């Protein structure tokens, strides 16, 4: 955090037209200051770089390929169909994963010993439940992302 503050100070210093001095104490700790101290060296920060030209300020080249509105509309419709199909698939997978979780919660994992005796295996059961919960969370996030993308494209 302190280094980020120092970096920001160094980058903003030319804008404020202040002189910055750097000193290193015997323990190797670096200190920056706007007032000179014994053994401090004045830093030459130069002028700040010019901000880059934003792309939207540049006109589209005259030879840039263009497509007609019907073609673009067809492409947009195909994209929306793909997104809608993916959303339908994710909703189905989410339902299946929730059902698997419910089934697993009702039927705990069993360990069968060499005598054929079955006993509950809580560690394996907990691992399976966590795995199913992660899968459900993944499907929920995918559904949110697909819905957001569909809402932007309509």
**Cα–Cα dist 115/144, whole Å:** 49
Beta-bridge mates of residue 30: 24
Question: What does pTM read for this prediction?
Answer: 0.54
**Cα–Cα dist 72/48, whole Å:** 43
pLDDT tens track for 93-122: 999 999 999 998 888 878 788 888 888 888
Phi-psi region of 116 (alpha: psi -120 to 50; beta: other; left: phi over 0): left
Q: What sign has the CA pseudo-torsion 53, 57, 59, 64? A: positive
Position 16 confidence tier, pLDDT thresholds 50, 70, 90 = low
pLDDT at 131: 93
> HSE (CB half, 13 Å, CA atoms) of 129?
14
**Cα–Cα dist 146/138, whole Å:** 12
| Residue 52 tokens, joined | 């880059």
């Amino acid at each position: 955090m302190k280094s980020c503050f120092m970096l920001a100070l160094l980058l903003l210093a030319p804008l404020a037209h202040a002189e910055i001095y750097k000193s290193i104490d015997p323990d190797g700790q670096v200190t920056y200051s706007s007032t000179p101290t014994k053994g401090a060296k004045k830093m030459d920060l130069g002028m700040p770089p010019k901000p880059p030209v934003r792309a939207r300020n540049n006109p589209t080249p005259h030879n840039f390929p263009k497509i007609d509105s019907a073609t673009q509309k067809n492409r947009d419709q195909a994209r929306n169909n793909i997104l809608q199909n993916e959303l339908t698939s994710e909703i189905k997978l989410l339902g299946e994963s929730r059902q698997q979780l419910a089934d697993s919660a009702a039927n705990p994992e069993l360990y069968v010993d060499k005598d054929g005796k079955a006993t509950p295996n809580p560690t394996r059961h907990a691992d399976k439940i966590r795995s199913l919960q992660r899968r459900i969370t993944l499907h929920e996030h995918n559904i949110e992302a697909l819905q957001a993308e569909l809402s932007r494209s309509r």
